[in-house]
Structure 1
């Protein structure tokens, strides 16, 4: 059950961080304005709190593992929101990162 909670929190963190960065990108680069930028800043703030809800108490481990989620999630976000088509090297790299997440977070420790 703790693993499922951890994965759900990683997914929520990815949505808030990547979504927040995307909103700011849209506000600045696509000239959508301050409301988009402000919404992005708020989403990024929520991300900071979501990470603290992870069952594991080690900040470095959580953020290191989340990096792999961020990589894969960013590619997925680009596919859905911007029509980005990752090439095979993007996919291979994201899979390597996700394996790293599994090792860092869920490997048995004594």
Structure 2
């Protein structure tokens, strides 16, 4: 007879898409509102806009680079994605249990993407 034990070490990854308002681009953001729903709409909008800009900037930069620089940028991008996920997940976990956790997660992703966009614009 065999005993089978199942256990999990946080097997569920927290991703911003779990908390996004998909219609955020069609809603006017209420800047400065203290309401969590408004904050999430603003952050969702920022997330979706920065995601679009990041992808556009990355593609534009890759078109202009020579092969060696493309490989370096690709490697850098992969490392950045891992660091971003770890950092933002950590911020979410610090607020776990609170209603602010999704806001911290989305805000982290938006800030990280904006920094990466600036990095890509200056990458030569």
Q: Give the alignment's TM-score, normalised by structure 2.
A: 0.32
Larger Rg: 2
More helix by share: 1
Structure possessing the higher relative contact order (Cα contacts under 8 Å, 6 or more residues apart): 2
